[in-house]
Amino acid sequence: MNPAQLLMIDLSGPALTADERGFLQANPIGGVCLFRRNIRDRFQLADYTAGLRELLGDEILIAIDQEGGSVVRLPDVPYGPGAMALGAANRLELTRQVAAATARGLRAVGVTVNFAPVADVNNNPRNPVISERAFGSEPERVAAQVAAFVQGHQAEGVAATVKHFPGHGDTDIDSHLDLPRLMVGLERLQRVELVPFKAAFAAGVAAVMSFHGLVTALDPNEPATLSPQVMTGLLRDRLGFDGVSFSDALDMRAITARYQPAEATVLALAAGIDMPVQLGPVSQHEATIRGLEQALTAGRLDPLALGRSRERIMRLARRYPAQPDPASAWQDGDEALLSEAAQRAVTVMGRLRPLAAGQQVALVTAANAVGGAASDVIDSPAEALARRLEALGVTVLRAHYQRSTPLAASKPVLSAVRAVGRALFVSTARLRMTQDEAKLGAEVAGAAQEFAHVALYNPYHVQDLPGPAIISFSFHPYAIAAVAAALLGQPAEGALPVTLTSA
């Protein structure tokens, strides 16, 4: 067996370069992970994935991160408002239907594996990378949502992947940037973190993706991705999972700060990962394959274990074949479904006095959304809310501030708020508010006769800025529309799926 068959790689753009084409012709790569840079639209992407199958065979795995909400690589097919929004709506059949629509859109462009849903229990308000990507903070509730998503998604012919095994929720470091630590005992791991994964396994999930962090109760020295105690001892031996295990991307600092790419790939395979996801240029992929060949020769990798990995990969590929048809990505009812999901997610805390057509409101926001390494940054999502309110007859006075601006420079913002009397403070970051940002929000609330905080991203912002609040959990276009409708008095049905603390 050629070890290249176990690798998933990335590519540089919407068309193959000469170097990439030559590399793929010479090496039977097992999978390709797609990113925004590979995509112009769904029709181009269907052609692109067809070209990959021509080069590498019909059983290549073509994967993407299409969680919904803030993590969307392909925007012109159906996608949901994100996991936490679905958790707030708390309707399992709705989650199944949103997952099914998501899978149909991916199937239409030749994608066979979705790196979703997130099965992490987000019980740490300071988590900088999971947050609204999780269904909530209660294990059983998350488990039910994860199982529903898996069922709906895989029924439409695209493999689902639960991540980040065995749990990235109770951490406060982004593994894209450094090495997080899950510092809990085995009893707690069984009672909290593993509950959604077990539910996914019972639902027949096709694949799992690893956590680039230390699980100190199992292995205090190596991140889970590189730990035999986690990826073999826990996943295979204790939990009995026999689907495909993917590594999270091995270009993250949690890994690269400690190991060179080839060595990290060897260690991942030795730990029990079936398919390492190795991102980088062609030269790096070539070096990685040489490193794998050398590791096999030196006896560092077990050919029988690699053969079992290949069998699992092929089983997945045959169960979820490519079925491209870009014209079929959208079906009747998809738009109504996504609108319903976003609307049912909107959550109100405290008493909001509705806006009305003909009224004025000051909308205070930073110029840009601040995401994280997992997400694509969307410029000025609050502007979409402003336009939607204007379409409903509300006069909106925009008052922008920059997060890097000293608090003393915010006087024009407060003057605008006093002049109008009503204010919306819109938070648009995944990270928690800075002290200055929270103080400015409090000053806006104090300057306004009527005030509401609109949290378009991180729900934990509502504990950084006390007061009446409305939460959408995402910038999804339908979420923006639902927030605007709620601000004008439409009842909000969502229930906060995380526990707020003073953290």
What span, in angstroms and rounded, lies between the C-alpha atoms of 79 and 102? Answer: 5
What span, in angstroms and rounded, lies between the C-alpha atoms of 201 and 205? Answer: 5
DSSP structure class, residue 393? T
Q: Which of 174, 248, 334, 464 is catalytic?
A: 248
114 beta partners = 64, 160
Q: Which of 41, 47, 76, 176 is catalytic?
A: 176
Residue with tokens 């840009």: 368
Amino acid making up residue 371: G
Residue with tokens 């991705």: 225
Residue 468: Cβ within 10 Å count: 17
For residue 68, the surrounding DSSP H or E stretch is strand 66-68
Reduced to 3 states (helix: H, G, I; strand: E, B; else coil), residue 467 is coil
Q: Is 219 an active-site residue? A: no
Phi-psi region at 468: left, alpha or beta (left = phi > 0; alpha = psi -120 to 50): beta
Nearest C-alpha neighbor of 206 from the set 80, 83, 112, 271: 112
CB 169 within 8 A of CB 193: yes
Q: Is 248 an active-site residue? A: yes
CB 282 within 8 A of CB 23: yes
CB 357 within 8 A of CB 394: yes
Reduced to 3 states (helix: H, G, I; strand: E, B; else coil), residue 275 is strand
Active site (catalytic) residues: 176, 248
